[in-house]
Amino acid sequence: MFTSRRFIAFFVLIALVVLAACAAPTAEPTKAPPPPASSASASLSSSSSAASSASAPTKAPDATKPPEPTKAPAPTQPPAPTATPRPVSLRMAILVDESTLNPYTYVLGYPGWNMLNLVYDTLFILDADSLPKPWLAKEDKISADGKVHTITLRDDVKWHDGKPLTSADVKFTYEYYQKVVRARFSTPVRNAKIETPNDTTVVITLPSPNPSFLIEPMADAPILPKHLWENVADPKKFDNATGSGPFKLVEYKGEQFYRFAANAAYFAGKPAVDELLMPIIKDPTTVFSSLKTGEIQATTRELSPELVKDFSSAADMKVQRGAGFATTMLLFNSERAPWNKKEVRQAVGLAIDTQKLVDTVLLGFGTQGNPGWIHPQSPFHDPAVKAEFNVAKAKTVLDNLGYKDANNDGIREADGKNMEGTLLVYSNNPQRIRAAELIAAAVKDIGISFKVTALEVNSLDAKVWPDFDVAKGRDFDLSMWGWSAPVQVNPVRMVALVHSDPVIGNSNVGGYKNPATDKLADELRVTTDLDKQKTLVRQMEALIAQEMPFLLLYYADGNYVYRPTAYDKWVYQKGQGIFNKLSFLPGVKP
């Protein structure tokens, strides 16, 4: 038995050697590389182990090792796949429902118009310095008399539904604004003649020169798709938000949120944010607490002054700050006594320390209001026009009008009636509410009573600016009010604030009327010579400061907070803040 096993083992070993020798090639055209040392050691170790496990009285002779076969070259490994970048999703809160986002339905100049510009495009765009630059338009050639604009359009722009944007859309849009009035967009193109000699050329002939035409309407009025709008009779009921802009509005739930998706085919490049979710959070306190917890990552709301230090020191937050051109003002109803008297308005202005408002309400994060409207940083501003705080002078002005406190109740009487009024303010704006309370305390010192009343945004707007049409009148005494930054960017826009013709003065929400102001405004709005324009602006500035149809209280600095890990490519647009189209198109310079 022992001999048989020994014989069988010997026979198997000889057979394996013979088979290996038969498998070896007869020639080696190229010598195979030797196996790595570790592999050879492992092979030897394995053979030794196998040999020791067999019982054999005599050791089999070693076979001659056959030559190694040529190894096939290792297959080329494909490159490692490039990691697909994660989609950038951003949650940015707003405070007000801006409705269905078309040029006739958005609610506020900020952030509503800014949201509108994510979906639609304009012929020009305001750059980071708030200067108009070509956008849908490649160029605009202006005739020597300033009346004819020959505009060449880009030929690579498409609507969100894939159809091309052409000169026919521009012509249709401006003529639609002429026919269906929205004052902001309609006034600049009123009586303009529009021609389209080809798909990429628009010729606009104005009845008179307009020095602001590049800003309004060209950098302001959204261009609409003719093929979708040409049969729309009532735009307020039209909810198709198809535009040509960098984002598509893919979902809107009233009083809840807006959801935008990046337009991958956008002519200026795909936006850096793939999805923008804008929840509607009406309470400012909740907005900033949500930012702290990470429920949102940014907000269109400026950071409250008292929170600047807290958020600036937070490691996971970033605050961008700059001068703000948005205005906060005390608005008088100039059609209602006693606010229809210039001297009464002047007395109120003298009684209010606007620098104190900056220091107290804004904690210094702002600029004192210029009673002549123009921001002090504007090159059009006349430094000689300044705010004046003088309580004694205010009392004297009222005394000279014969307005006395006859019954010693602390309130003067004007024409037999107490000098009192209701001061309206947005209920969702604690900063303005605080300012209104301080104003009410200030005018009490000169014998005037203001009752501060906070109203929801739409309710207040319905009293001050019903249907956003000054021709429909007004129903208020006084109101805290303000205009978004673009109104301040264009100095000629001051004409719209004070002209008595509701078509020209489409922002004259206080109903102010003065023939001298109208005359100066009419000259300013058609002057194209820059030096003369500057002279006229300064004359208008001085007149507004004297007439005081409104009291400019302050310009709050823009303090915008966000989580940089979510998105950190914001562009701070001069005077206007970080929420603008260019913030989502990093590297694009108009």
CB distance 386 to 367 below 8 Å: no
Q: What pLDDT, on the 0 to 100 scale, is given for residue 81?
A: 53
Can you give the C-alpha Rg of the chain in angstroms? 37
Structural domains in the chain, CATH included, are 87-119+245-320+560-590 (3.40.190.10), 121-226 (3.90.76.10), 328-556 (3.10.105.10)
Q: Is 300 exposed, middle or buried (0-12, 13-18, 19+ CB in 10 A)?
A: buried
CB distance 32 to 71 below 8 Å: yes
> HSE of 235 in the Cβ direction (CA atoms, 13 Å)?
18
Question: Which amino acid does the sequence have at 104?
Answer: Y
Cα angle value 510/512/518 (rounded, 5°): 140
Residue 535, φ and ψ in degrees, nearest 5: -60, -45
Q: Is 41 exposed, middle or buried (0-12, 13-18, 19+ CB in 10 A)?
A: exposed
**Tokens in use for 39?**
């592999």
**Tokens in use for 565?**
């890990």
Least Cα distance to 521 among 506, 539, 502 occurs for 539
CB distance 90 to 275 below 8 Å: yes
Q: What pLDDT, on the 0 to 100 scale, is given for residue 312?
A: 95
Long-range contacts of 18-26 (CB under 8 A, 24+ apart): 20/63, 20/66, 21/63, 21/64, 21/66, 23/66, 23/69, 24/66, 24/67, 24/69, 25/67, 25/69, 25/70
Q: Classify the phi-psi angles of 575: left when phi > 0, otherwise alpha if psi is within -120 to 50, otherwise beta.
A: left
Whole-model pTM?
0.75
Q: What pLDDT, on the 0 to 100 scale, is given for residue 484?
A: 87
Tens-level pLDDT at each residue, the chain (590 residues): 433 443 333 333 333 333 333 333 333 333 333 333 333 333 323 333 333 333 334 444 444 444 444 444 454 555 555 556 678 999 999 999 999 999 999 998 889 999 999 999 999 999 999 999 999 999 999 999 999 999 999 999 999 999 999 999 999 999 999 999 998 999 999 999 999 999 999 999 999 999 999 999 999 999 999 999 999 999 999 999 999 999 999 999 999 999 999 999 999 999 999 999 999 999 999 999 999 999 999 999 999 899 999 999 999 999 999 989 999 999 999 999 999 999 999 999 999 999 999 999 999 999 999 999 999 989 899 999 999 999 999 999 999 999 999 999 999 999 999 999 999 999 999 999 999 999 999 999 999 999 999 999 999 999 999 999 999 999 999 999 999 888 888 899 999 999 999 999 999 999 999 999 999 999 999 998 889 999 999 999 999 999 999 999 999 999 999 999 999 999 999 989 999 999 999 989 99
Q: What pLDDT, on the 0 to 100 scale, is given for residue 78?
A: 52
Place of tokens 């628009």: 202
Q: How many residues are listed for the chain in this entry?
A: 590
Q: What pLDDT, on the 0 to 100 scale, is given for residue 108?
A: 86
